[in-house]
Amino acid sequence: MSVNYICRHCGTSLGRIDQDHVSETKLGFHSLTPEERNDIISYNSNGDVTVRVTCDYCREALDNHPELSLLSNPLQ
């Protein structure tokens, strides 16, 4: 199983964890609400996990221009 972190806004790959026995507790997933889990984490049919987060570049752009958050895909 691998855990892939990608930016939810620009699609940039932010990192990958390739371990067979990594727990959701170690990754911090246990602290998410069910709604957050559904929004952030997706499970692929091959057993891999994709975690959609916001990269530093997009976070800075959204902080400086909050109106971008009104668009469906603001930072493609």
Domain ranges of the chain: 2-70
For residue 75, the model assigns a pLDDT of 61
Reported for 62-68, long-range contacts at CB under 8 A and 24+ positions apart, including other chains, are 62/9
Distance (Å, rounded) from C-alpha 52 to C-alpha 22?
18
74 pLDDT exceeds 80? no
Q: Answer with the residue of higher pLDDT: 76 or 2.
A: 2
Q: Is the pLDDT of residue 21 over 90?
A: no
For 24-67, what is each residue's pLDDT tens digit? 888 888 899 999 999 999 999 988 999 999 999 989 988 888 88
